[in-house]
Amino acid sequence: MLKLNGIFAPLATSFDSNENLSLGNMQANIEKLSQYDLAGFLSLGSNGELVNLSDAEKLSVYEAARKAIPSDKIMLAGTGGQSTRETINLSKMAAEAGADAVLVLNPFYFKSAMTKEALVKHYFTVADNSTIPVLVYNMPANSGMDMDADTIHAISAHPNIMGIKDSGGNLVKMGDIRQRVKPEFQVLAGSAGFLLPALSVGAIGGIVSLANIAPEQCIEIYKSFSEGNLTQAREMQLKVISLNLAVTGKWGVPALKEAMDYLGYYGGPPRKPMLPIKKEIKNELIKLLNDCNLKKVV
């Protein structure tokens, strides 16, 4: 079974000044990040602006990411669509491109219809038709839906559904899920802001945006906890909370890309309707980056 222990970087999708894909720059970012002891990468998660790409572009990104990701690191691919059929098609594309597993955000547009029964049927049908394992993606900040523990527990019964990335930050629910699901079902934190608390209730790692700009710090939290050094893990967790909030919940993908540019990666522009951050926000962001003593790369 595919083991997801450790820290994964959910990659930003690189665009040029005309908002066209810039796959070479994305691959250069992967090469730089691969110098760190990351478990792997997620292509086309929320950071990857999945919803802003055509299907042809998605396939190009999956293929380019797989070519750049070292063979000893895991590639996850975001494939969540609004219909079960779309999600299956994207999952097949990702598998053919070489992804090791797919991360599936729940459908959310028709919220009132997304009952427990509908969501379980959706995930089971995707898992039945996927040749690679499926991870559930709970991202209430973007989907407007927070799947409850009962629903996750029911979904986890499928043999091809291997775990969940939970970005909701509800540690009580995360612990409840961990206690109720089968032992091999893997729980991953969806944000570095609560990485250590998530590990303490049974998460085995994290798929965290901050790993794109602060991989060492995210890995240190994970490794310190794994080695029983809770004091060191707690100190690092506290150091990264403000920066994590800035590049996830507060200013989002445009701020993450600005931070990447500042630190020597390629960030580039987001794709509209998202806009680059304003100058005054950029100044605040740079101060946060400097306060955390993040390494610039060459």
SS3 assignment, position 46: coil
Q: Which residue has the tokens 């020597």?
A: 264
Q: Is 77 helix (H, G, I), strand (E, B) or coil?
A: strand
Closest CA to 206 of 189, 218, 220: 189
Active site residue 165: yes
* Nearest residue to 120 via CA among 100, 147, 142: 147
Of the residues 73, 165, 173, 257, which is catalytic? 165
Nearest of 173, 248, 177, 158 to residue 210 by alpha carbon: 248
Q: 245: exposed, middle or buried (C-beta count within 10 Å: 0-12, 13-18, 19+)?
A: middle
Integer Cα distance of 196 and 45 in angstroms: 22
Chain center to CA of 112: 26
Per-residue tokens: 128: 């039945």
What is the C-alpha separation between 22 and 16, in angstroms, rounded?
6
Amino acid (1-letter code) at residue 297: V
For residue 166, what is the enclosing H or E element?
strand 161-166
CB atoms within 10 A of CB 79: 31
Q: What residues act catalytically?
A: 165
